[in-house]
Amino acid sequence: ERTYSTLMQGLFKQGRIEDALELWKEMDSNGCAPRNFSYNVMLHGLFQNGRMEEAMKLVEEMFTKGVSPNAVNFNTIINGLCKHGKTEEAIRLMKKMSEYGSSPDAVTFTTIIDGLCKEGRLEVAIRLMGKMSECGSKPDTVTFTTLIDGFCKEGRLEEASSLVENMSRRGLRPDVVTFTTIINWICEQGRLGEALRLMEEMCGKGFRPNHCDLEYIIKAFCKEGRLEDANKLLEDMANIGIPPNTATFNAMNNDLCKARGLQKTEELLEKMMKAGFEPDAVTYCTLMDAMLKEQRVEDALGIHNVLTSKGRAPAVHTRNMLLRKLFKNGELNVAVEFIDGMLANGCIPD
């Protein structure tokens, strides 16, 4: 069972959902009855890959097979619901946990708090944090960081910093994600100098900056047209052992597309591939978007087709981008053809 679970987890991570499902069937037919943790791997994988209905079916199956969900299962389901915009359902489920001998823990609460924050329901989120103690739980660094991110994204700076204070009053230390959250938000405000200073402070506390910091700061530099500074930062980061990756390239690339046109981008893309970086979904999305903006619809469609034929069909969002352009240009026949092709390739429209 452990081997199967590990394998399925790996398959889900690579987006190979059908393969994982196959393995799940095989496991069953080999007389290996899945327990909570195997169900959890499946649930998590299905939710992560947007296969909500199948996940919910699996939950029913757990019940009919007499596998009572444990706290981790509940948390996984609650997270799945939240990530699909069903926060209210998630809250209802949390209230039911006690009927099954589990009680909500910090993970449960933080998951729902995150869902509420992402919906902009910050007051409700704060109130929920206040209720954690009733369940014998208490907020941790992750809970606070979730809220800090929520308030930052809504531009509610003072409340965000009072959360930081509240956190340290409780003896909770900020971790690298907390720092990154704040650094990103300071960048967003265009206060780049402060962001860089905070990053140094973070290093001073023994945390290593990571790509979440790097890409955001790069983006901010580019926005201000400070390309040399961006390149300098890339060098500095590489020197402390954080070499650029595909996401870093993407961040630079976006600016190139917008400010300097596609030719430079294509040069950079070539350079990147020569350096051994694989373009990813974001790379292609950026590139296709830029092509569409320059009316190079054929080229964008070409990339789409190549990716699809390689079994790496772009996400719904990217496909919608193309469709929108086709409609805008009045190319209805091409659009219809495109949709047919999508369906034939098993892509589900949203």
Chain positions contacting RNA, by CB under 7 A: 1-2, 5-6, 9, 35-37, 40-41, 44, 71-73, 75-76, 79, 106-107, 109-111, 114, 140-143, 145-146, 149, 175-178, 180-181, 184, 210-216, 219, 245-248, 250-251, 253-254, 258, 281-282, 285-286, 289, 317-318, 320-321, 324
Which tokens belong to 253? 């690339």
How far apart are CB 85 and RNA at their closest, in Å?
14
In the bound state with RNA, the residue whose beta carbon lies nearer, of 187 and 334, is: 187
In the bound state with RNA, the residue whose beta carbon lies nearer, of 19 and 210, is: 210
CA 120 to chain centre: 18
How far apart are CB 237 and RNA at their closest, in Å?
11
How far apart are CB 185 and RNA at their closest, in Å?
8
In the bound state with RNA, the residue whose beta carbon lies nearer, of 259 and 306, is: 259
In the bound state with RNA, the residue whose beta carbon lies nearer, of 320 and 329, is: 320
Taking the C-alpha atoms of residue 186 and residue 179, their distance in angstroms, rounded to an integer, is: 11
How far apart are CB 143 and RNA at their closest, in Å?
5
In the bound state with RNA, the residue whose beta carbon lies nearer, of 41 and 334, is: 41
How far apart are CB 68 and RNA at their closest, in Å?
13
- For residues 47-76, one letter each, b for 16 or more C-beta atoms within 10 angstroms of the residue's C-beta and e for the rest, the string is bbbbbeebbbebbeebeeeebebbbbbbbb
Taking the C-alpha atoms of residue 182 and residue 215, their distance in angstroms, rounded to an integer, is: 14
How far apart are CB 167 and RNA at their closest, in Å?
10
User: Is the CB of residue 30 less than 8 Å from the CB of residue 22?
Assistant: no
Residue of 174, 97, 167, 102 lying closest to 138 (CA atoms): 167
In the bound state with RNA, the residue whose beta carbon lies nearer, of 279 and 334, is: 279
The C-alpha torsion from 44 through 47 and 52 to 56, rounded to 10°, is 20
Taking the C-alpha atoms of residue 108 and residue 234, their distance in angstroms, rounded to an integer, is: 38
Kind and range of the H or E element at 119? none
Query: Cα-flanking dihedrals φ and ψ of residue 271, to 5°?
Result: -60, -45
